[in-house]
Amino acid sequence: MWGIDPLMDSNSKPNVRRAVRVTAGAGLERWRVRTAWVFLAPTLAVLALVAGWPLLRTAMLAFTDAYLSRMAEARWVGLENFRWLLTDGDWWRSVQNTIVFTVASVSVQFVLGLGAALVLNVRFAGRGLLRAVVLIPWAIPTVVSARMWRWMYHDVYGVFNDLGLRSGLLAQPVAWLADDTTAMAAIVVADIWKATPFMALLLLAGLQAIPPGLYEAARVDGVGRLNAFVYITLPLLKPAILVALIFRTLDALRVFDLIYVMTSNAVSTASMSVYARQQLIDFQEMGYGSAVSLMIFFVIAVFVAAYVTAMRASLVEEG
Amino acid sequence: MLKKWARSALMGLTLSALIGAILPVAGAVEITIACGAVGIESRLCREGTESWAAATGHRVRLIQSPNLSNNRLALFQQMLAAGSSDVDLFQIDVIWPGILATHLIDLNPYYGEEQRQAHWKTLIDNNTIGGELKAIPWFTDIGLLYYRSDLLDKYGLPVPETWSQLASAAMRVVDAEREAGRVRMTGFVFQARAYEGLTCNALEWIASYGGGQILSPGGAIDLHNPRAVSALNQVAGWIGTFVSKGVLTYDEEDARGVFQSGNAVFMRNWPYAWALAQADGSPVKGLVGVAPLPKGGIDGRHAGTLGGWGLAVSRYSKHPALAADLARHLTSEAEQIRRAIAGAFNPTRPAVYRNAAVLAAHPFMGSLSELMDNAVVRPSRIAGERYNQFSTIFWNAVHDILSGRAAAADSLAAAERRLRRLSRNGRW
Amino acid sequence: MNARIIKTALERTGFAAAVVAIFTFSVFPLYWALITSWQKGSEVYTVRYLPSAISWANYRAVFIEQSFGHNLVNSALVAAGTVGVSLALSVFAAYGLGRVRFRGRMLLLFTILGASMFPQIAVLSGLFELIGWMGLYNRLPGLVLAYLIFTLPFSVWVLTIFMQRLPREIEEAALVDGASPRVVVLRILVPLVRPAMVTTGLLAFIAAWNEFLFALTLTLTDRARTVPVAISLITGASQYELPWGRVMAASVIVTVPLVLLVLVFQRRIVSGLILGGVKG
């Protein structure tokens, strides 16, 4: 308790009336719930305002044949858009591409991010600089970094081919983005580079929240480092891992810029968002495009549900 | 002794000034125009609007829009769909008049028969949707063949007249140069990324073989025909031999990068690449020639796809007449001459290509005029607001053929079926 | 004894190797951007590992051709505003969601997350309308508001998760002593979740700083235009030409302030001490 005592003493003059009210047993809980709602209200209000209308609108348009240049003439078409969507091979291809992309990039990002976070959690000279440097890939605007990677993958003046040719690993230049399989791999690599910092930083914050005392106690008890990692670090890091994975997966499932810059609208690598954008912007199909957006929402919801089920324990445990 | 263009510039200004005086405007009005991004294009646009503002007493506000036309279209659509009056005058791509038609006013009342006739008919036709002129042509673009004159000379090869000649010449040079240790040498670069540029390229191949322009003026679909199949088969056969597979991911700048760094014998590109290839510091400076794109065969034709931009007035503009007047000023002969000389923007008026000052500045422009007469127009007018869907189906089919995922005949037949479904059987 | 020395030596080498690997992985593309930005014209089409000459022409061009400085200020204001509002709102929301048990808590958490489950492009039209109605089109507050769509759910979630795990006694002791809930959050919980707050703040700042699609659609002129949009305007003599050296110069200009920002704030991604006392 020594950690918080000074704060208490300096900040709160005992307030008898409130203390009495607060300690009044069951009343305390009710009072806390009311406070919780009061505290939540501004956030909910802001979200209802900025996200509420756009999302409601999307949900409504999904059942119409709205066309961007003639919005006023939109008619209700029921589930028609979804019927078309479910039979469109290009859509299913984009779902498949997106899932492959997400699973591949998020899992590698998790492993690398955890490794980086562990390194950054150790005290050493230059740690501050490394912590700043690690964020560089995340800090370069995606529109630019995606173009940069496209440039690096170029078959004639790209740096990867140059390195490969110089070192003798490649006999001739490879067009990384032209072939279906290497294109997806190349896109995943670029995303790993881009988003690992996000993962690393969130996990680092999680590591910082683990009391160092626990490790000391473990060392005294003769627990090895690997065991300490498995039995102390991982369980305590679980909530941070969950939130990092959820948000990274959410982002990966909505990937747009990276793929659009690398391979444009090519069906073999297009993601769900690329498909949605094509419908909403290029084709002006607001109705159909909104239905696509709604489907993307459901696909993402399935992933979120899977995470939560898998890691349920850590969420419910303390709440 | 006034030069002719200077005289017409003066006349244009006087005319604008007159209109400005006659129109019942209580005071100076501000017209907003979205033109260019930054750099020389934006500067030339600003200078053009300034001379109009000086003559009419109105103000002009310039809005810069993103470089990539896809981003531009998204932005414009959003503003127009919301009925925003923030921008009066839009610079729009040649394929957009149909897509944006409902949001644009008819310019015919402001732009008489005589004025329209001063532009290439193909461009005016292209910008006319349902009898309404949706945009005044401003500057244009056309697909060209660039070649390395030094390499052709070295191997004693002529500038190719047909695609087959191009193929054998490229093969010959690439084999010899690779033998000599230049592993990166490739024969021909063009734009085969899955995007609008591929539509332009593929249309050129098909048209050069007499395979038509996919949509007839009436809207009938003719894509799956023997000429189109053989044209695309030929191109697909190049890939992996003297054309590197990387071309499937190339846009204009990728192709230019390869060509300009001296790694390609031939390139298909727009006129903009000329000045850059010939600029100081370019490794291929002085080693480049330009020609019409090859014919399909002896009986084929030279076909270059038309690109470019026009000026369109928003339906939601509060001052459509003034905006139209500004558009007329910016697209006038004098302005086009000025822009051609200072920025190499290709005029939309045949007369300008005969102007001595323009030719002195860019000798290369003289030859464009002839090509413009045979230009291939993308069927954006026919497909109207569904043009992007049309183009996507087409380029996807072509991309599948070139990357070897599908046979030409199958892919084109499938695309034709999709086009029929999209157009409700050619009714568009 | 010897074996132990060797073991430590190996460990140290391994650790150093990891540090070097992380450094190279992160910095290489920026380094590459830097040397590209120093090149001119056609040089960008040849692969170089060391700068041939250092030319600042591209940097000058970026500032001369457009009001890039102004755009930078806009970006900074928008990003700072977004982070400020997000953190201020979410720290209280996180208290409600993370420290109090009530019915519908999970449902609420997932509803908030739901706002982040639509592709950005899907909310674009509605947002454009909304911002227009509110009179915030082409204004910085409009962008801040729009960015809350993605920063707020993220901040709420991270802070909720981090607050949830703090032992309950901390806050109860304070409440019994008569502190108001607001004081409990600001004086007691905030310092304890500081690493999470700094981390969320940095990630949200970067996300807002780099956002392109909303910024493109919700702004019109330099009055509110941010840096990513300004970069997308960079063009050569024609619409097709992409002056790569200049784009890279702009990216370096945009990235360096962020690195400095992180350098300043990374020290605060440390807590531990207080928590250690409580749990241990």
The reply to whether residue C216 touches residue B67, judged by beta carbons under 8 angstroms, is no
Q: How far is Cα C31 from Cα C49, in angstroms, rounded to an integer?
A: 9
CB distance from B253 to chain C under 8 Å? yes
Distance in Å, alpha carbon of B249 to nearest chain A alpha carbon: 6
- Which residues of chain C carry a pLDDT beneath 50? 272-280
Residues of chain C with Cβ-Cβ distance to A39 below 8 Å are: 92-93, 95-96, 181, 185
Cβ atoms of A74 and A68 closer than 8 Å: no
What pLDDT is recorded for position A4?
31
The domain limits of chain C are 2-45, 60-279
Q: How far is Cα C18 from Cα B423, in angstroms, rounded to an integer?
A: 59
Neighbour count for residue B373 (Cβ, 10 Å): 10
List CB contacts of C254: < 8 A, sequence separation 6 or more.
A140, A141, A144, C72, C75, C209, C210, C227, C228, C231
Burial label, B280 (beta-carbon count in 10 A; 0-12, 13-18, 19+): exposed
Q: How far is Cα B309 from Cα B65, in angstroms, rounded to an integer?
A: 14
Cβ atoms of C247 and C59 closer than 8 Å: no
Question: Which among A61, A69, A285 is the top mutation candidate for probing chain B, defined by the most B β-carbons within 10 Å of its own β-carbon?
Answer: A69
Tell me the two tokens of residue B28: 């100076």
Q: How far is Cα A79 from Cα A99, in angstroms, rounded to an integer?
A: 25
- Per-residue pLDDT tens digits of chain B, which is 428 residues long: 445 555 555 555 555 555 544 554 457 899 999 998 777 888 999 999 999 999 999 999 999 888 888 889 888 988 998 899 999 999 999 999 999 999 999 999 999 999 999 999 999 999 999 999 999 999 999 999 999 999 999 999 999 999 999 999 999 999 999 999 888 899 999 999 999 999 999 999 999 999 999 999 889 999 999 999 999 999 999 999 999 999 999 999 999 999 999 999 999 999 999 988 988 889 999 999 999 999 998 889 999 999 999 999 999 999 999 999 999 999 999 999 999 999 889 999 999 999 999 999 888 888 888 888 889 999 999 999 899 999 999 999 999 999 999 999 999 999 999 999 999 888 88
CB distance from A70 to chain B under 8 Å? yes
Q: Residue B221: which H helix or E strand, with range? A: strand B221-222
Residues of chain C with Cβ-Cβ distance to A38 below 8 Å are: 96
Q: How far is Cα B307 from Cα B316, in angstroms, rounded to an integer?
A: 27
What pLDDT is recorded for position A251?
94
Closest CA relative to residue A92, chosen from A251, A228, A282, A292: A292
Mean pLDDT of chain A: 86
Please state, in angstroms and as integers, the Cα–Cα distance from residue A155 to each residue in A302, B248, B387, C25, C149, following that order. Answer: 38, 11, 32, 22, 39
* Angle at which helices A127-134 and A180-208 cross, to 10°: 140
For the CA atoms of C205, C206, C210, C216, the dihedral, rounded to the nearest 10 degrees, stands at -20
Residues of chain A with Cβ-Cβ distance to C126 below 8 Å are: 53-58
What pLDDT is recorded for position B341?
93
Facing residues of B61 across strands?
Answer: B32
**DSSP states along B77-123:** HHHHHTT--S-SEEEEETTHHHHHGGGB---GGGS-HHHHHTS-HHH
Q: How far is Cα B119 from Cα B347, in angstroms, rounded to an integer?
A: 9
For residue B68, the chain A residue with the least C-alpha distance is A261
CB distance from B244 to chain A under 8 Å? yes
The reply to whether residue C130 touches residue A122, judged by beta carbons under 8 angstroms, is no
pTM attached to this predicted model: 0.90
Q: Are strands B136-142 and B132-133 parallel, antiparallel or unpaired?
A: unpaired
Query: Which residue type is seen at B372?
Result: M
The reply to whether residue C92 touches residue A211, judged by beta carbons under 8 angstroms, is no
Subunits adjacent to chain B (3 or more Cβ pairs under 8 Å): A, C
Render pLDDT for A52-104 as a digit per residue (tens, 0 to 9): 989 999 999 999 999 988 888 899 999 999 999 999 999 999 999 999 999 99
Q: Residue A265: which of B195, B249, B261 has the nearest Cβ?
A: B195
Cβ atoms of A187 and A259 closer than 8 Å: yes
The reply to whether residue C237 touches residue B39, judged by beta carbons under 8 angstroms, is yes
User: What's the gap between Cα C97 and its chain centre?
Assistant: 24
What single-letter DSSP state applies at residue B295?
A: B
CB distance from A74 to chain B under 8 Å? no
The reply to whether residue C42 touches residue B283, judged by beta carbons under 8 angstroms, is yes
Q: Do domains B4-134+306-373 and B144-305+383-422 have the same CATH topology?
A: yes
Cβ atoms of B203 and B305 closer than 8 Å: yes
Q: Residue C119: which of A32, A47, A254 has the nearest Cβ?
A: A254
Distance in Å, alpha carbon of A144 to nearest chain C alpha carbon: 7
Residue ranges of chain C whose CB lies within 8 Å of a chain B CB = 40-46, 65-66, 124-125, 128-129, 132, 137-138, 216-217, 220-221, 229, 232-243
Subunits adjacent to chain A (3 or more Cβ pairs under 8 Å): B, C
Cβ atoms of A101 and A252 closer than 8 Å: yes
Residues 107-136 of C with CB under 8 A from A: 108, 110, 112-127, 129-130
Q: Residue B249: which of A68, A173, A177 has the nearest Cβ?
A: A177
Phi then psi for C272, rounded to 5 degrees? 80, -60
For residue B183, the chain A residue with the least C-alpha distance is A172
Cβ atoms of A180 and A269 closer than 8 Å: yes
* Candidates 3.40.50.300, 3.40.190.10, 3.40.1360.10, 3.40.50.720; CATH matching B144-305+383-422: 3.40.190.10
**DSSP states along B139-155:** EEEE-EEEEEHHHHHHT
* Candidates 3.20.20.70, 3.90.1150.10, 1.10.3720.10, 3.40.50.620; CATH matching A89-316: 1.10.3720.10
Query: What CATH number belongs to C60-279?
Result: 1.10.3720.10
Distance in Å, alpha carbon of B140 to nearest chain C alpha carbon: 11
Cβ atoms of B333 and B118 closer than 8 Å: yes
CB distance from B388 to chain A under 8 Å? yes
The reply to whether residue C178 touches residue A18, judged by beta carbons under 8 angstroms, is yes
Residues 26-85 of C with CB under 8 A from A: 26-27, 29-30, 32-33, 45-47, 85
Residues of chain B with Cβ-Cβ distance to C46 below 8 Å are: 261
- Per-residue pLDDT tens digits of chain A, which is 319 residues long: 232 322 233 333 344 444 444 455 677 788 888 999 999 999 999 999 999 989 999 999 999 999 988 888 899 999 999 999 999 999 999 999 999 999 999 999 999 999 999 999 988 888 889 999 999 999 888 888 998 999 999 999 888 999 999 998 998 889 999 988 899 999 999 999 999 999 999 999 999 888 888 888 888 888 888 888 998 899 889 889 999 999 999 999 999 999 999 998 899 999 999 999 999 988 999 999 999 999 999 999 999 999 888 876 555 444 3
Q: Residue A54: which H helix or E strand, with range? A: helix A53-61
CB distance from B241 to chain A under 8 Å? no
Residues of chain A with Cβ-Cβ distance to C143 below 8 Å are: none
Tell me the two tokens of residue A44: 């909910």
- Looking at domain B4-134+306-373, does it have CATH number 3.40.50.2000? no
Structure ipTM: 0.90
For residue A212, the chain C residue with the least C-alpha distance is C276
Residues 156-195 of B with CB under 8 A from C: none
Q: Are strands B221-222 and B89-93 parallel, antiparallel or unpaired?
A: unpaired
The reply to whether residue B388 touches residue A283, judged by beta carbons under 8 angstroms, is yes
What pLDDT is recorded for position B397?
96
Q: Which residue blocks in C119-193 are alpha helix, DSSP H?
A: 120-133, 140-164, 169-176, 181-183, 190-192
